[in-house]
Amino acid sequence: MEGESRRIEKPERIATYFHMEKWTLAVITVAGIFYNVGMTAGPWFEGQLAQRLCDIILGKKVFADMVGLALLYVAVILVVQTMRYMKRLFVRRFANHINRDMKQVLYRSLVHKKKEELEKESAGAMMTRAISDVDVCVEGMRKFTTEIFDTGVVMAAYLVMLFIYDWRLTLLSMCFPPAAYFIAEKLKKTVSRCAAAGKESAGRLNEATLDRVENALTYRVYGQDENRNADYEICLADYEKKAVSANIWENAMQPLYQIISMMGAVFILWFGGKNVLGSGWTAWDIAAFTTFLSCFTKLAAKSSKAAKLFNSVQKAQVSWKRIQPFMQEEEPEQDITAGKPASLVVSGLSFSYQGGPPVFQEVSFSAGPGEIIGVTGPVACGKSTLGRVFLQESAYQGSIRIGGRELAGMTQEELSGMVGYMGHQPELISADIEENILLGDEGNALKYLRAVRMEEETAKMPDGIHTLVGNGGVRLSGGQQARIALARTLCHRKPVMILDDPFSAVDTETEKEIMKNLRELARDSVVLLLTHRLALFPELNQVLWMSDGRVTVSCHEELMRTNADYADLYRMQEKGGGHHEA
């Protein structure tokens, strides 16, 4: 089915893609052979028409004979061109399917890469390169498939015809196209080197453009505009130079190959003329001469195309080599909708970043579905780290069990069915509000917008829920972005939900209302609320106070009595009516 995502066995082999399109290739083969063998009809008819014209001038034939022949010529050409249309249609279809399949494999492989890996390899440049590499690679495959027939089969047919007319003259005149091949072959390395350099430079320019757009405000505020512009100009100049050079090598050589290939025509005029005059190797009439010359020019033109084909196949190989490491199918994602409500048991949990001191040690607590646990403490006490431990980005010591199963033993798919996460960054996708909430699932996005108190604001937007948020949510305020991210987390509920500072950009009143809705929507989940804002802590089931690597597990009332830092912080916020950090 068009647009359907299919899993591919051995996606790292180019032959796989040809094999998957075998039926399309079968149609291309039949249409290609008919079309290209049929192409020899052109020169033959041209020769016959020239001969007939001669005969009419000499009075041997009448005009009606010419009309009959011309009509037959038109009919044959019509059939041949229909075959051509069929072949082109199916070649395009073949290329579209492969392009879609390759990009899907690439996408599936890249989304499974760890965030740090993508950052290390510079995600922007890598994605740009990989996607344009797929395009180049498929274009090479398309040209290869087309030219096998349009060049290979047709050249063989023309060659057979030339040999039938005069094999000696054929050998003589056909010395030149191989010379064109030879030159093209010699230049292959230069063409691919320039193409690779052009692509690398395009990647760098893309990265610089992205950086310029994303950090424009920072550069302006810190007076770095001039510096950045100068750096950008360097990237631009480099790209211009390399793109021009890649283009010249790729396109400017074509006429040269053509001239070299055509040089055999001089021999045909001389020795072919002798054949017509009766003093050559074979006896020819006007029709034979015209057919031979026409066949030769077509063959020479085709052979220079074959030289170009080498270049595009070469370019495709360079691109394929680059994307091949990414062409791996990940294990199919199981359809894990939110797991069943489950209890959370954390015991003796400790964590330290590589080579660093422990961020927290020996944390133990447990909670059942419907419980909301507040996690707070002084600045940089490790709240976000505790939340991210649930994403298993790095190994932890101790135990985290959800529904009796240890988190560390879960596959990535099982983990995403068990833990929902809303981080500091809203990470909105470049789509509309509804898509950002549903992420391709069915559902009523409005319900969640209402839950995060954004329904009215959305209704006032130009396209309502279908308003595009722009790349990374740039068309929305920070608070709106955060609430959409929260709506998305609530829409995709999981047995354990980690919410890192979800109310940072809303006022206390709105916070209260969202909290009420959160309680209702997440009644089957254990929610970890990581925040500096303590206004709602009295109504939470438990509170974790993190300070200096130690974690106190308690509740609001108890902490108010026993922990002076917590009590001071809470009272200060209560007095201020807002939030103050410790």
Distance between CA atoms of residues 195 and 137, nearest Å: 13
Residue listed under structure tokens 């500091």: 424
- Considering the rule CB under 6 A, would residue 533 count as an interface residue with ligand ATP? no
Closest CA to 231 of 205, 198, 197, 203: 205
| # chain residues binding ligand ATP, by CB under 6 A | 10
Closest CB 356 distance from ligand ATP, rounded Å: 6
Closest CB 435 distance from ligand ATP, rounded Å: 29
Distance between CA atoms of residues 83 and 190, nearest Å: 37
Closest CB 482 distance from ligand ATP, rounded Å: 14
Closest CB 569 distance from ligand ATP, rounded Å: 12
Side-chain half-sphere exposure of 60, counting CA atoms within 13 A: 6
Q: Which H helix or E strand runs over 225?
A: helix 225-247
DSSP string, 410-451: S-HHHHHHHEEEE-SS----SSBHHHHHHTT--S-HHHHHHH
Closest CA to 327 of 8, 43, 3, 11: 11
Given candidates 353, 368, 516, 523, which one binds ligand ATP under the rule CB under 6 A?
Answer: 353
Closest CB 359 distance from ligand ATP, rounded Å: 5
From residue 106, how far is each of 79, 96, 111, 134, 232 by CA, in Å? 41, 15, 9, 9, 29
Given candidates 11, 47, 264, 382, which one binds ligand ATP under the rule CB under 6 A?
Answer: 382
Q: What is the b/e burial string over 25-60, where b = at least 16 CB atoms within 10 angstroms of the residue's CB?
A: bebbbebbbbbbbbbbbbbbbbbbbbbbeebeeeee
Closest CA to 124 of 139, 108, 110, 138: 110
- Considering the rule CB under 6 A, would residue 380 count as an interface residue with ligand ATP? yes
**Which one, 255 or 478, has the nearer CB to ligand ATP?**
478
Whether residue 248 contacts residue 255, with contact meaning beta carbons closer than 8 Å, is answered with no
Closest CB 534 distance from ligand ATP, rounded Å: 13
Distance between CA atoms of residues 465 and 268, nearest Å: 72
**Which one, 146 or 385, has the nearer CB to ligand ATP?**
385
Pick out residues in 355-374 that bind ligand ATP (CB under 6 A): 356, 359
- Considering the rule CB under 6 A, would residue 160 count as an interface residue with ligand ATP? no
Closest CB 438 distance from ligand ATP, rounded Å: 29
**Which one, 184 or 389, has the nearer CB to ligand ATP?**
389
Pick out residues in 506-525 that bind ligand ATP (CB under 6 A): none
> By CB under 6 A, which span of 40-48, 128-136, 382-390, 571-579 interacts with ligand ATP?
382-390
- Considering the rule CB under 6 A, would residue 379 count as an interface residue with ligand ATP? yes
Closest CB 240 distance from ligand ATP, rounded Å: 39
> By CB under 6 A, which span of 95-103, 378-386, 442-450, 565-573 interacts with ligand ATP?
378-386
- Considering the rule CB under 6 A, would residue 384 count as an interface residue with ligand ATP? yes
Name residue 415's amino acid.
L
Which tokens belong to 415? Answer: 């983990």
> By CB under 6 A, which span of 28-36, 57-65, 375-383, 486-494 interacts with ligand ATP?
375-383
**Which one, 38 or 387, has the nearer CB to ligand ATP?**
387
**Which one, 129 or 533, has the nearer CB to ligand ATP?**
533
DSSP single-letter state for residue 356: S
Closest CB 387 distance from ligand ATP, rounded Å: 8
Closest CB 375 distance from ligand ATP, rounded Å: 9
> By CB under 6 A, which span of 334-342, 380-388, 396-404, 470-478 interacts with ligand ATP?
380-388
Q: What angle do CA 21, 23, 25 make, to 5 degrees?
A: 70
- Considering the rule CB under 6 A, would residue 502 count as an interface residue with ligand ATP? no
Which tokens belong to 185? Answer: 């072959």
Is the dihedral angle over the CA atoms 461, 464, 468, 470 positive or is it negative? positive
Which tokens belong to 325? Answer: 């490491």
Closest CA to 339 of 493, 149, 128: 493
Given candidates 381, 487, 522, 526, which one binds ligand ATP under the rule CB under 6 A?
Answer: 381
Closest CB 425 distance from ligand ATP, rounded Å: 13
Instruction: Give residue 563's region: left, alpha or beta (phi > 0; psi -120 to 50).
Output: beta
Q: Which residues pair with 441 in a beta bridge?
A: none
> By CB under 6 A, which span of 56-64, 242-250, 352-360, 570-578 interacts with ligand ATP?
352-360
**Which one, 369 or 423, has the nearer CB to ligand ATP?**
423
Given candidates 36, 40, 314, 385, which one binds ligand ATP under the rule CB under 6 A?
Answer: 385
What φ, ψ does residue 174 adopt, rounded to 5°? -90, 15
Given candidates 204, 383, 493, 494, which one binds ligand ATP under the rule CB under 6 A?
Answer: 383
Give the per-residue contact string, 303-342, with ligand ATP (x = CB under 6 A; - = no): ----------------------------------------
Give the per-residue contact string, 75-104, with ligand ATP (x = CB under 6 A; - = no): ------------------------------
Q: Which residues bind ligand ATP (CB under 6 A)?
A: 353, 356, 359, 379-385
